[in-house]
């Protein structure tokens, strides 16, 4: 059975329901759930976990992406989106565990598909070794744990590559460059890294 999504206009006014493939074909606005898993280790170093998208994804396959990301099914609430964490990472989290950081509006085009999203973004602080995630291999190709300071330097152009612990990618550590990330004009990874750092330093009221 085809996955059905709620569609909206640019003001987030609900317009109806449509099949997922047609939504991306026609460039309809739709809502998605994004969760960035972050932690500070015993040495005081800050990290963000990202997933590598699978090779069969219809948009930006094999690229590094938000830790957990997925579409709300038609009629699904924001709180129900937390199911994506278990579906992709294989772990259970409560909606109350998440730190909301606002809605990111984004548009991307990939090989004729148009992705227009209202992305509800959350942080989840969870100090779990990436090797201990029973992630779903049919959803996620692998995971990387990025040192936040080093990755910020990468996005600032101060470094060409960094190394990160990885699972599912053949070797660990892996060498990471900007070409490994989904190329989006609004720089969501940089923004999320800055928010992660501020969150781990105890700041509140964060907005992506």
Is residue 76 domain-resident? yes
Number of structural domains the chain divides into: 1
Is residue 10 domain-resident? yes
Is residue 205 domain-resident? no
Is residue 45 domain-resident? yes
Is residue 207 domain-resident? no
Give the model confidence (pLDDT) of 143-200 as tens digits.
Answer: 999 999 999 999 999 999 999 999 999 999 999 999 999 998 889 999 999 999 999 9
- Cα–Cα distance between 84 and 88 in angstroms, integer? 6
Is residue 159 domain-resident? yes
Give the pLDDT of residue 2: 84
Is the confidence at residue 132, as pLDDT, over 90?
yes
Is residue 132 domain-resident? yes
Range of the domain at 90: 4-200
Q: What is the CA radius of gyration of the chain?
A: 17
User: Cβ distance 175 to 90 under 8 Å?
Assistant: no
Give the pLDDT of residue 103: 97
Q: What is the largest CA-CA distance in the chain?
A: 50
Peptide bond into 173 cis (omega under 30): yes
pTM above the 0.85 mark?
yes
CATH for 37: 3.90.79.10
Give the model confidence (pLDDT) of 68-118 as tens digits.
Answer: 999 999 999 999 999 999 999 999 999 999 999 999 999 999 998 999 999
């Amino acid at each position: 059975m085809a996955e059905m999504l709620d569609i909206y206009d640019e003001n987030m006014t609900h317009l109806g329901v449509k099949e997922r493939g047609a939504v991306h074909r026609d460039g309809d606005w739709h809502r998605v759930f994004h969760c960035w898993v972050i932690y500070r280790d015993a040495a005081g170093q800050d990290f963000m976990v990202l997933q590598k998208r699978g090779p069969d994804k219809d948009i930006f396959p094999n690229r590094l992406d938000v830790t957990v990301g997925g579409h709300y099914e038609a009629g699904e609430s924001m709180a129900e989106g937390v199911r994506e964490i278990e579906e992709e990472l294989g772990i259970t989290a409560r909606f109350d565990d998440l730190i909301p950081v606002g809605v990111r509006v984004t548009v991307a085009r990939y090989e004729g598909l148009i992705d227009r999203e209202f992305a509800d973004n959350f942080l989840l602080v969870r100090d779990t070794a990436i090797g201990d995630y029973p992630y779903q291999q049919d959803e996620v190709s692998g995971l990387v744990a990025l040192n936040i300071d080093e990755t910020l330097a990468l996005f600032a152009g101060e470094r060409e590559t960094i190394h990160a612990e990885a699972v599912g990618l053949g070797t660990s550590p892996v060498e990471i460059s900007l070409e490994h990330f989904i190329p989006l004009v609004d720089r969501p990874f940089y923004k999320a890294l800055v928010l992660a750092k501020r969150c781990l330093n105890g700041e509140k009221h964060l907005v992506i």
